[in-house]
């Protein structure tokens, strides 16, 4: 089944403890991106990747890192999480930058 898989689905962590949210797609998509969804603010892009080893900042990149070493995987790294990064995170992929986007099931992160 074609899908975007994120893990974990839920995570509660403490301020400053490094964490990684994984994202994997099995559709051979070139373009991948991360969004966060917050009440009243909607979905905002954090980082995106046009292809392997090509990544760039989105609208709200502060406090996040990404890597794209393989085409299928695009992990989101929070080196020192803070409470303002408590949010619902989504990974998305598309074949190209101008084609249909598919989203993962989301990761609900709480930083205390």
Partner 1 sequence: KQEVTQIPAALSVPEGENLVLNCSFTDSAIYNLQWFRQDPGKGLTSLLLIQSSQREQTSGRLNASLDKSSGRSTLYIAASQPGDSATYLCAARSSNSNSGYALNFGKGTSLLVTP
Q: Which residues bind partner 1 (CB under 8 A)?
A: 31, 33, 35, 40, 42-43, 45, 48, 56-59, 90, 92, 97-106, 108
Q: How far is the CB of 51 from partner 1 (least distance, A)?
A: 13
Core vs surface per residue 56-95: b (16+ CB within 10 A) or e: eebebbeebebebeeebbbbbebeebeeebbbebbbbbbe
Which is nearer to partner 1, 60 or 78 (by Cβ)? 60
Which is nearer to partner 1, 35 or 85 (by Cβ)? 35
Q: How far is the CB of 76 from partner 1 (least distance, A)?
A: 15
* CA–CA separation, 93 and 108 (whole Å): 19
Which is nearer to partner 1, 9 or 18 (by Cβ)? 9
């Amino acid at each position: 089944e074609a899908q975007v898989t994120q893990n974990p689905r839920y995570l509660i962590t403490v301020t400053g403890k490094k964490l990684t949210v994984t994202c994997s797609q099995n559709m051979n998509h070139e373009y991948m991106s991360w969004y966060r969804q917050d009440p009243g603010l909607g979905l905002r892009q954090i980082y995106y990747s046009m292809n392997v080893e090509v990544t760039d900042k989105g609208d709200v990149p502060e406090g996040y890192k990404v890597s794209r070493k393989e085409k299928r995987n695009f992990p989101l790294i929070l080196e020192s999480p803070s409470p303002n990064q408590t949010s619902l995170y989504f990974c998305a992929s598309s074949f190209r930058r101008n084609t249909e986007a598919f989203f993962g099931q989301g990761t609900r992160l709480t930083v205390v």
